[in-house]
Structure 1
Amino acid sequence: MAFINTGGSADTGLQQGNKLYLVLLTLVATFGGLLFGYDTAVVNGAEKSLVDFYITPMLDPAHYQTLTRPIITQYRILMVVVLLVVAVIISFQMLKLLGRKKGGLFTAIVLILWGVWSWSFIGEAVPADSVAVQGMGDTIKGFVIASALVGCIVGGALAGVVSKSLGRKNGLFISAICFILSAIGAWRPELFNVFGTLDVFSFVIYRIIGGIGVGLASMISPMYIAEIAPARTRGKLVSFNQFAIIFGMLVIYFVNYRIAAQGDEAWLKEIGWRWMFLSGVVPAGLFFILLFFIPETPRFLALKGKEQEALKVLEKIGGKSEAPGVLEAIKGTLKDHSRPWLSYGSLIIVIGILLSVFQQFVGINVVLYYAGNIFRNMGASTDASLLQTIIVGIVNLLFTVLAIFTVDKFGRKPLMIIGSLGMAVSMIALGLSFYFDSVGVGALIFMLIYTAAFAMSWGPVCWVLLAEIFPNSIRGAMSIAVAVQWIANWVVSFTFPMMNDNIALVDKFHHGFAYWVYGIMSVLSAIFIWRLVPETKGRSLEEIELFWKKKH
């Protein structure tokens, strides 16, 4: 909850309440973040094995009729379906945002464009020459590795509806179930192939299911924390969700490293990668069990008219003396909870969308998903690349902790701007290292600086801002930002192999091109924060809502 800033009353309420209870609720909610990190980063260690197991055989001319042609055909069909889902999601969001007339026109245009593109894409001849097949292999590789992000787009878009209709807690339950199903299905996609596809695309579908869980958790976990946290410590507590994401990544880096150490390259290609995905059952199952022991948030309970239940939760968190006043403040912001999303103007929507876009376009998930690939491009072996990935994870975790303890002290904007500039310098320098074929220790240092800059800024602070800036009455609009974030993530992750492995770009830029793109985006993100984003440090959610009312 967000206590109203009235002198010392907010702190008094917290001191009289159960601090341990608040921390425990936060820790359970952050399991969603931990699984977010665990599930999205597991592919880092498995990426080479997946490519060797599924993609490399299709590049052999001897397999053209039996393997290459069917994979390319099914890939095209799946891509058409995936983009239809994305088009429908975008259209739904635009209908909600712009209304039936303008939103309907936008939807019609999007669906017509999708139809024209799909007809051309499906009807295109399957390539036969080796160069074209190699290029298609890079594209399919990006699709398989980034497949979970398709589910993230769906989950992120549905998170607003799920959290509003079923509740924050039930949304997290659904997320946990998706994680469990994905871990088991990706372990043995041929055994659990009930989709009638090639096994590689059975794997893709199970990864999409896991992505739905990630998308739901990416919005609902920080939302849950923001709705139970006092204003004074909300930034810190919401940042713990990002800490959990990074911690989940670090855990799976270690798990991947230990699994890889159990056998040679051949074993890793056939068996090892499967255990990497199955290992996710353990944290997902624990998350599912722990959810039975936490309450629904006071805001959702108040939204559904369950005021006595909301009051009981508020009393346990903040103390009996402050709870009634906080409940009244919450009820005041929920009177017209179904207001149109543009009730506070378009600026808040634009800021939410651009926060999400820039968080991804600076290229962080290229580092998180393809770190092993990047280190192998630097000349490292598989084991060494996994070990270096662990170092990246440790730096990521340490600087996320730094952000947690400074976000409520220094504010959101200073951290974001400093982080953007740090990322810009390190990404441009990393690109130059590849361009001049000087990819030794210096390149590793640039990557670590980049990771540290992101971890202390755009990693945790972006989620804090997204959890704070949307007023209660249009909280569902946050789903636009979350959906856009996952679309941007998918675009970046899907296109990286094309930019990094494209023969022409490699010949000209020596793997440096993509990093320069991310460096430019980092510069633009700093300008965006400086010019458009308001500071929310120390303000209650109700005060932030009042700010937007005055702004509009």
Structure 2
Amino acid sequence: MKKSEYLLKITLIGALGGLLFGYDTAVISGAIGFIESKFSLNADMKGWAVSSAILGCIFGVAIAGYIADRIGRKKALIITAILFAVSAIGCALAETFSQLVIARIVGGIGVGAASMLSPLYISEIAPAHKRGMLVSLYQLAIVVGINIVFFLNYIIAGLYGEQWNVDMGWRFMLGSETIPAVLFLIALFFVPESPRWLTKEGRDEEALDILTRINTKEIAQSVHKDIKLVLGQEKGTLKELFAPGLRVAMIVGVILALFSQITGINAIMYYAPEILKDAGFGVDSALMQTVIIGVINTIFTFVAIMYIDKLGRRTLLLWGVSGMILCLLGIGTLFYLGLTTGPWVLILILGFVGCFGTSLGPIPWVLISEIFPTKTRGIAMSLSIMVLWIGVWFISQFTPVLLDKIGGAFTFWLFMINAIILLIFTYKMIPETKGKTLEEIEMSWKK
């Protein structure tokens, strides 16, 4: 097998964690209306049905970095695959609302852990000149997972009548995740461990062997030498992340993680059918529109993959977030003026998703996976992505409340304000990292 083919194979397997991330978080969008009817949920309980998984994510990502630093990236990913499968089966068999919530939390732990472990793993095996593209495949896997489940939800919802969906349809939607979870678990036994983690553990021969399978012998030896050199300069303590230089990296990671979520993407992904129904679309039509939203997200993620290593992370962020701001302004204005019955709400939502797909979708995963030191990369990514999941929880829990209390206009304008803050932060604080090795990026913070 050619080196490029081998690299792509193990990257795609690592990225399957993203597919399950997208699958697990988006499957609820088609099921939530039926679950609401099944268990007679009010707005707060409806938000809890969605956001309970997010609390699991926060816990999962909080412990994933420590586990990955102790037992390795590969073994930690295997644990997440098992959690995905257990959760899917539990959701399908739940007889009470409490049982459903517990199963959702278990799945959330897996999602949270995978959201840190998959980009971490990919960034540590990827050559510098391809790292942006390869880590972006993780985001592509997320949107592919969302696409699959949006389409599957649409198919399942159309099989029988409304009452069947209330009684059984949502069980098939949530339980279908068992299949990709088992495939992910099996595939993980065919990937190597991270060479940077192996070097940290003193397993130099194994690390060099893996690097040689991906790079030429000369490049592999050079990269391995740099890894050992930088590891020798690292303390490997949490305190190190808040020292001058690296402290800026920590701020960038946390702010980028938080604002990637509180600018509204998951309000659309989780509640798109409900928002579109409020805008005048029927149930079948609203579910079909979510399929279109997923397709647009996928197309523009490919745009990011093509250009992230050419134009750079910072340039794509500045342009993409600017487009998101304009679309959020337009969506809020349409809701404010009561002009939601035509096609413009959907068009602007698609524009927002497209801008997100080229920028704030893949780039946070790339930057967060490449800006921290090797010895503490797991724990630092856990801290950053834990903040990301807190943002996801906040949005998923309070979007129904915001839509109910202040309406669509002010909800989307609030997301717009957050996007403006992120645009300013990007311009002022985020450096360009394209083409640099992880070790070069680390040294640039210290300088």
Counterpart in the other structure of 2:25: 40
Give distance in 2, aligned partners of 1:55 and 1:232: 53
Counterpart in the other structure of 1:410: 311
Give distance in 2, aligned partners of 1:173 and 1:473: 21
1:460 aligns with 2:365: no
Which residue of 374, 389, 397 corresponds with 1:486?
389
Displacement of 1:437: 1.2
Counterpart in the other structure of 1:338: 236
TM-score w.r.t. the length of structure 1 is 0.78
Cα pair 1:17 1:318 within 8 Å, conserved? no
1:230 aligns with 2:127: yes
Cα pair 2:32 2:46 within 8 Å, conserved? no
**Structure 1: runs of 5 or more not aligned:** 1-15, 57-136, 191-198
Counterpart in the other structure of 1:533: 430
Could you tell me which amino acid in structure 1 is paired with residue 320 of structure 2?
Answer: G
Give distance in 2, aligned partners of 1:183 and 1:306: 37
Deviations 1:405-428 (A, max 9, x none): 011111111111111111111111
Counterpart in the other structure of 1:248: 145
1:152 aligns with 2:137: no
Q: How does 1:259-274 map to 2 (within 5 A)?
A: 259-274=156-171
Which residue of 76, 84, 87 corresponds with 1:179?
84
Counterpart in the other structure of 1:385: 286
Q: How does 1:41-190 map to 2 (within 5 A)?
A: 41-56=26-41, 137-190=42-95
**Structure 2: runs of 5 or more not aligned:** none
Give distance in 1, aligned partners of 2:127 and 2:212: 13
Give distance in 1, aligned partners of 2:220 and 2:432: 27
Taking only aligned residues, the RMSD between alpha carbons, in angstroms, comes to 1.3
Give distance in 2, aligned partners of 1:150 and 1:299: 30
Which residue of 285, 304, 313 corresponds with 2:210?
313
Give distance in 2, aligned partners of 1:168 and 1:206: 25
1:300 counterpart SS class: helix
Displacement of 1:261: 1.1
Counterpart in the other structure of 2:371: 469
Counterpart in the other structure of 1:123: none
Displacement of 1:149: 0.6
1:160 counterpart SS class: helix
1:28 counterpart SS class: helix
Which residue of 335, 347, 350 corresponds with 1:448?
350
1:473 counterpart SS class: coil
Counterpart in the other structure of 1:84: none
1:205 aligns with 2:81: no
TM-score w.r.t. the length of structure 2 is 0.97
Cα pair 2:324 2:355 within 8 Å, conserved? yes
Give distance in 2, aligned partners of 1:228 and 1:159: 18
The structure with the largest alpha-carbon Rg is 1
Give distance in 2, aligned partners of 1:537 and 1:309: 27
Could you tell me which amino acid in structure 1 is paired with residue 388 of structure 2?
Answer: Q
1:405 counterpart SS class: helix
1:368 aligns with 2:269: yes
Give distance in 2, aligned partners of 1:273 and 1:223: 33
Could you tell me which amino acid in structure 2 is paired with residue 19 of structure 1?
Answer: S
Aligned length: 441
Give distance in 2, aligned partners of 1:512 and 1:186: 34
Displacement of 1:319: 2.7
Q: 1:345 to 1:293 in 2, by over 3 A?
A: closer
2:217 counterpart SS class: coil
Give distance in 2, aligned partners of 1:400 and 1:337: 37
Give distance in 1, aligned partners of 2:200 and 2:184: 26
1:489 counterpart SS class: helix
Give distance in 1, aligned partners of 2:14 and 2:51: 25
Q: 1:189 to 1:337 in 2, by over 3 A?
A: farther
Cα pair 1:55 1:141 within 8 Å, conserved? no
Cα pair 1:142 1:494 within 8 Å, conserved? yes
Displacement of 1:478: 1.7
Cα pair 1:146 1:493 within 8 Å, conserved? yes
Give distance in 2, aligned partners of 1:316 and 1:430: 49
